Structure 1
Amino acid sequence: MRNLLDFLSRHNHWFVFLLLEVVSLTLLFKYNSYQGSVWFSSANAIAGKMYEWDSSVKQYFALTEVNRQLTDRNIYLEREVEMLREQVKKSNNDTTLVERLQQNIMRDYETIPAKVVSSSLDKANNFITIDKGSADGVRKDMGVVCGQGIVGIVYLCNEHYSVVIPVLNEQSNISCTIRGRGYFGYLRWHGGSPETAYVEDIPRHAHFRLGDFIVTSGYSSVFPPGIIVGRIKHVYNSENGLSYRLNIALSTDFSRLRDVSVINDREMDKKLELLRAAEDSIKHANKHTEETNEPELP
């Protein structure tokens, strides 16, 4: 203890110097906008790189489980495709129809592979950060999926990273449908378990069963139709009693999420441009109507 005190007393000027340096740098970055922005950008880049390294280590040790899940999923999909192939052959006597349908499914879409570098599960509004950004073709409002099913929608992106609003976010609102039934509602998460969510606004006249699959409806330009969301576990009445509220088991295991794909709809820009043109046309028509209905001054 005496040696430690002697050491501190001999070098106290160095400790005072370091303390003053820390205080001066804190004041510099806190009260000067330019230096603060430089520090903020550098810190974000360093944090992103650290998250990326940490994610790479976790992904390496999780490869065995990921490979097992992919194998199980591939077996299931291969069996499903083979069953559909046989049914189509029996009903149409066309041996090439299935191949042509498979080629057309993703004709208007391309996928951008990415890795999760950080994510959260225990908040009301969780976010996921991936290692692809605008330099890789990622843009805001693109859909994100994985081998198990739906993940979320891109919210923000810079050159090399993007932030995704996952299904496990109270702001998420995705159009879904009951596969093979034709009824659709909206996927929402209200906190709690990361393994379950709700599909709301299912009409009262809808016919379905527990265990039916919930998939994306394709009614937006974010996701193509038919991407797995989950399976129906329980059925409840809505608060007003006018519709059903479905409790579903999510197909995506967000606690093990590592590899994802961003879906780029090649036709999305054209669709959005058409929607904006329609909105502008409606605004212009409403403005014209208001002007023609204004009373004239005497």
Structure 2
Amino acid sequence: MRSLLRYLLKNYAFVLFLLLEGAALALVFNHNSYQKSKYLNSSNRITGNIYQTYNSVVDYFHLNRINKELSEENAWLRSRVENITGVPAINDSLVVTLESADSTYRFISAKIINNSVNKPFNYFTLNKGRNNGIKPDQGVVTGKGIVGVVTHVSDSYAVGLSVLNSRWSISAMHKKSGNYGSLIWRGNDYRTADLTEIPLHVDISPGDSIITSGYSSVFPEGVMIGTIQDFSRPDGENYFNISVQLSTDFKALSYVEVIENQDKPEIKELENIIRDDPMAN
């Protein structure tokens, strides 16, 4: 402690300079939006570069698994294109547009370079950003199922909210019956989530598929979420308690597809009109 005090007294001018310089920079960034945005973009870029370098090293030792995942991604994308458009998919395309009478989806290939699974509120980082067409509120999927939704973007990177986040729920459908409810992760096990609001009269069984309902502009209908693991009928309740085995392995995420619903602005514009209409409330 004495040595530290002697050092501070000896170099007080330099220490004072550092403190004043730090205070000045803080004032500049907090009160000038341009400098603040440049600082945040630089910070995001540096962090993203660190994650990307680390993942490049890790990927070298997992090439077989990554190749398998990429094959699954391509198969899933080809099936989506063929089912919706009737036109065979182009194998080497990184961006695929799927058109139907109701909506147009654009799939942008990306890679997860940071991911968490053991927190109450889990997020992931993508190696693509605004310059690649990534925007907030776009869904993220793999060939096995849903991953999450984009929340923040910089020029070259994006951060997303994982399915493994107890603050988020997903509109999900029991494929066999067409009944829909909400999928919620309770923060316990990264392999399972709970499905609510499925009425007791619905015929359900372990192994039944749970898919996206299409009732939001984030995911198209029919993207795999998981299968029913088990369920119970609570006394005095009108709905099942359903545990869903998630189809996505959140501990082995690598390459993903980001979904852009190109009709979303038009849909949101109409929904906002209804929301603001006093006669509709």
Whether these two folds match at TM > 0.5 is: yes
Residue 62 (structure 2) pairs with residue 62 (structure 1): yes
Aligned with 2:127 (options 127, 131, 144):
131
* Counterpart for residue 52 of structure 2: 52
| Structure-2 separation of matches of 1:72 and 1:41 | 34
| Structure-1 separation of matches of 2:109 and 2:84 | 25
Query: What amino acid maps onto 1:106 in structure 2?
Result: L
Aligned with 1:251 (options 247, 253, 274):
247
1:102-251 matches, within 5 Å, as 102-103=86-87, 106-107=98-99, 108-237=104-233, 241-251=237-247
Give deviations 1:35-77, integer Å, cap 9, x for gaps: 98365543332112111211222233222113235557888x7
Query: What amino acid maps onto 1:179 in structure 2?
Result: K
Tell me if structure 2 keeps the 8 A contact 1:135–1:160: yes
| Structure-1 separation of matches of 2:246 and 2:280 | 43
CA drift at 1:136: 1.6
Tell me if structure 1 keeps the 8 A contact 2:69–2:255: no
Percentage identity across aligned positions? 31
CA drift at 1:118: 1.3
Instruction: Give runs of ≥4 in structure 1 deviating > 6 Å.
Output: 12-21, 72-75
**Aligned-pair RMSD on alpha carbons?**
3.3
| Structure-1 separation of matches of 2:22 and 2:84 | 63
* Counterpart for residue 85 of structure 1: none
Tell me if structure 2 keeps the 8 A contact 1:176–1:216: yes
Tell me if structure 1 keeps the 8 A contact 2:211–2:222: yes
| Secondary structure, counterpart of 2:240 in structure 1 | strand
Tell me if structure 2 keeps the 8 A contact 1:29–1:39: no
- TM-score, structure 2 normalization: 0.78
* Counterpart for residue 293 of structure 1: none
* Counterpart for residue 93 of structure 2: none
Aligned with 1:271 (options 264, 267, 270):
267
Tell me if structure 1 keeps the 8 A contact 2:139–2:258: yes
CA drift at 1:175: 0.7
Give deviations 1:111-147, integer Å, cap 9, x for gaps: 0111112111111111111122222222221111012
Which has more helix, going by share of residues?
1
Aligned with 1:261 (options 257, 264, 278):
257
| Structure-1 separation of matches of 2:131 and 2:73 | 31
Q: Mark the CA change 1:262 to 1:14 in structure 2 (over 3 Å): closer, same or farther.
A: farther
| Structure-2 separation of matches of 1:286 and 1:244 | 31
Query: What amino acid maps onto 1:53 in structure 2?
Result: T
Work out the number of aligned pairs and report it. 257
CA drift at 1:225: 1.0
CA drift at 1:21: 6.6
Q: Mark the CA change 1:70 to 1:129 in structure 2 (over 3 Å): closer, same or farther.
A: closer
| Structure-2 separation of matches of 1:242 and 1:52 | 48
